Amino acid sequence: MKTGHTFVKPLQRAALARATGCNLETIRYYETIGVMPDPPRDPNGYRSYSEYHVRRLQFVMRARDLGFSLEEIRGLLTLVDNDTRSCVEVEEIALAHLKDVQNKIAHLVRIEAALSNTLAHCSGTDVPECAVLDALLD
Amino acid sequence: MKTGHTFVKPLQRAALARATGCNLETIRYYETIGVMPDPPRDPNGYRSYSEYHVRRLQFVMRARDLGFSLEEIRGLLTLVDNDTRSCVEVEEIALAHLKDVQNKIAHLVRIEAALSNTLAHCSGTDVPECAVLDALLD
DNA sequence: CCTAAGCTCTGTAGGTGATACAGGCTCAAG
DNA sequence: CTTGAGCCTGTATCACCTACAGAGCTTAGG
């Protein structure tokens, strides 16, 4: 064997969707808004995706899943692309998100307590709904 | 002084927006979709909001922030509103929401772990190696 | 009293982040 | 050659807002 180099056959759109779990149409959407690059086309006009596109789409999806907006993802991608990946910038964005997520968790835990409290008191008394409201209102 | 009862002067739409941080137009939107009640009107047709509307809008906004859909919020609100509810109904709704909330918590905890874990490996320097990006890129 | 600013009202258009569908082309299998 | 799956494009639809246009009310100043 010459190298460890493996040829990965190019993927069409549905194959990329299957490979990443992304919705078929969303791939085209990400292309039109510039989050995914315009892929090369086969002579017939079909999109031809490589391993690069799989990784990039996974990046986008993972970041979306973590709650980053497409605008933030565009920012992260330029940091990835230009190798000016100063950790500081990324850390700023990610840290802000972490705090946001932690706040959300704290609130949800209070709501959880209020809801299970509601269920515990569900014997016909007319008070418990206030707990839910209070939890949501702080 | 007769009571501890404080008169709170009614608010117009912009005042409610300021009081809650909600967008002016969003208030009207919530009204049209039935998440906020149709407020009483002054003789001139202007909407007149009370403390009740402030609290209700804060409830809605907090719930939205925590990831509840407007549909779910409608459900939460009936839970909060309905004093003439049968215990069975409340139990059903509350239990459904409890599960929903617990799922949301679990999801956010996973996100939190991923974010703080990657941030822990972030050197915070200008080094072009960034743990956060590596994590997103796998 | 008149006017101008600054609210309010309504209807409707635009934006984000997808997702779906229609009508047509391409391609590989039978 | 036909059939069906897969691709193409454009456009519609969805949830959830957000903004604007054009009109009426209301308050302060001259």
Q: Could you say which residues from 98 to 137 on chain A have a Cβ atom under 8 Å away from some Cβ of chain B?
A: 98, 101-102, 104-105, 107-109, 111-112, 115-116, 118-119, 122-124, 126, 129, 132-133, 136-137
Per-residue pLDDT tens digits for A35-85:
999 999 999 999 999 999 999 999 899 888 777 788 888 888 887 776 555
Between B94, B115, B123, which is nearest A119 by CB?
B94
Pair (A103, A130) in one structural domain: yes
Task: Output B135 or B69, whichever has higher pLDDT.
Answer: B69
Pair (B75, B88) in one structural domain: no
Work out the pLDDT band at B44, boundaries 50, 70, 90: very high
CA atoms within 13 Å, Cβ hemisphere of B119: 18
**Cβ within 8 Å, pair A85-B118:** no
Report the pLDDT value the prediction gives residue A127, as an integer from 0 to 100: 47
The CATH number of the domain where A24 resides is what? 1.10.1660.10
- ipTM for the whole complex: 0.69
CB A134 within 8 A of CB A114: yes
Q: How many CB atoms lie within 10 A of CB B89?
A: 13
Work out the pLDDT band at B117, boundaries 50, 70, 90: confident
CA distance A71 to chain B (A): 16
From the list A32, A83, A74, the residue with the least C-alpha distance to A56 is A74
Amino acid at A128: P
Between A55, A85, A98, which is nearest B115 by CB?
A98
Residue A36: DSSP 8-state: S
Q: Structure tokens of A51? A: 């391993």
Q: What percent of chain B has pLDDT over 90?
A: 37
Cα separation, B124 vs B118, whole angstroms: 11
Work out the pLDDT band at A20, boundaries 50, 70, 90: very high
Helix (H, G, I), strand (E, B) or coil at A50: coil
Amino acid at A27: I
Pair (A29, A77) in one structural domain: yes
Alpha helices in chain B (DSSP H): 13-20, 24-32, 51-65, 70-81, 87-120, 131-137
**Cβ within 8 Å, pair B128-A86:** yes
CA distance B22 to chain A (A): 14
Task: Output B128 or B10, whichever has higher pLDDT.
Answer: B10
Does residue A47 approach strand D to less than 7 Å at its CB?
Answer: yes
CB A57 within 8 A of CB A27: yes
Helix (H, G, I), strand (E, B) or coil at A89: helix
Does residue B44 approach strand D to less than 7 Å at its CB?
Answer: yes
Per-residue pLDDT for A135 more than 70?
no
Using only C-alpha atoms, what is the Rg of chain B?
22
Per-residue pLDDT for A29 more than 90?
yes
Count how many domains chain A has. Answer: 2
Pair (B5, B60) in one structural domain: yes
Average pLDDT over chain B reads: 80
Does residue A33 approach strand D to less than 7 Å at its CB?
Answer: no
Average pLDDT over chain A reads: 79
Report the pLDDT value the prediction gives residue A133, as an integer from 0 to 100: 59
Q: Structure tokens of A74? A: 């565009």
Helix (H, G, I), strand (E, B) or coil at B1: coil
Chain B contacts of A98, Cβ < 8 Å?
Answer: 112, 115-116, 119
Pair (B36, B93) in one structural domain: no
Report the pLDDT value the prediction gives residue B114, as an integer from 0 to 100: 78
Does residue A74 approach strand C to less than 7 Å at its CB?
Answer: no
Pair (B77, B92) in one structural domain: no
**Cβ within 8 Å, pair B94-A118:** yes
A122 contacts: CB under 8 Å, gap ≥ 6: A128, B87, B90, B91, B94
Residue A74: DSSP 8-state: H
Structural domain for B93, as ranges: 84-138
Helix (H, G, I), strand (E, B) or coil at A49: strand
Work out the pLDDT band at A128, boundaries 50, 70, 90: very low
Does residue A28 approach strand D to less than 7 Å at its CB?
Answer: yes
Between A94, A123, A132, which is nearest B115 by CB?
A94
Per-residue pLDDT tens digits for B76-108:
888 777 655 555 665 676 677 788 778 878 877
Pair (A95, A37) in one structural domain: no
CA distance B58 to chain A (A): 7
Pair (A79, A101) in one structural domain: no
CA distance A28 to chain B (A): 21
Q: How far is CA A58 from CA A64, A120, B18, B110, in A?
A: 10, 43, 40, 17
Cα separation, B81 vs A69, whole angstroms: 34
